[in-house]
Amino acid sequence: MKIQGKHIVVTGAAGGIGRALVHRFVAEGARAVVAADYDLAGAQATAEVAGPTVTARRFDAGVESDVKDLVRHANDTNGRIDVFFSNAGVTGPAGGPLETTDEDWDSLWRIHVMAHVWASRAVLPQMREAGEGYLLNTASAAGLLTQPSALPYTVTKHAAVALAEWLSITYGNEGIRVSCVCPQAVRTQMLDAAMGQTEGASTVVAAAGLIDPEDVAQSVVDGMDAERLLILPHPDVAQRMAFKGADHEGWLADLRAKI
Ligand X SMILES: NC(=O)c1ccc[n+]([C@@H]2O[C@H](COP(=O)([O-])OP(=O)(O)OC[C@H]3O[C@@H](n4cnc5c(N)ncnc54)[C@H](O)[C@@H]3O)[C@@H](O)[C@H]2O)c1
Kindly list the residues in this chain that would bind ligand X in the complex (CB under 6 A): 12, 14-18, 37-39, 42, 59-62, 87-90, 111, 138, 140, 183, 185-186, 188-191
Supply the minimum distance, in Å, between the C-beta of residue 132 and ligand X. Answer: 25
Pick 3 or 185: Cβ nearer ligand X: 185
Nearest to 80, CA basis, from 7, 14, 30: 7
171 is catalytic: no
Supply the minimum distance, in Å, between the C-beta of residue 259 and ligand X. Answer: 20
Pick 174 or 215: Cβ nearer ligand X: 215
DSSP the chain: ---TT-EEEEESTTSHHHHHHHHHHHHTT-SEEEEEES-HHHHHHHHHHH-TTEEEEE--TT-HHHHHHHHHHHHHHHSS-SEEEE--------B-TTT--HHHHHHHHIIIIIHHHHHHHHHHHHHHHHT-EEEEEE--THHHH--TTBHHHHHHHHHHHHHHHHHHHHHGGGTEEEEEE--S-BSSHHHHHHHHH-HHHHHHHHHH--B-HHHHHHHHHHHHHHT-SEE-SSHHHHHHHHHHHH-HHHHHHHHHHH-
Is the Cβ–Cβ distance between 88 and 112 less than 8 Å?
no
Pick 118 or 171: Cβ nearer ligand X: 118
Pick 130 or 208: Cβ nearer ligand X: 208
Pick 61 or 83: Cβ nearer ligand X: 61
Catalytic residue among 38, 134, 153, 171: 153
Supply the minimum distance, in Å, between the C-beta of residue 173 and ligand X. Answer: 28
Supply the minimum distance, in Å, between the C-beta of residue 175 and ligand X. Answer: 26
Supply the minimum distance, in Å, between the C-beta of residue 70 and ligand X. Answer: 9
State the catalytic residues.
153
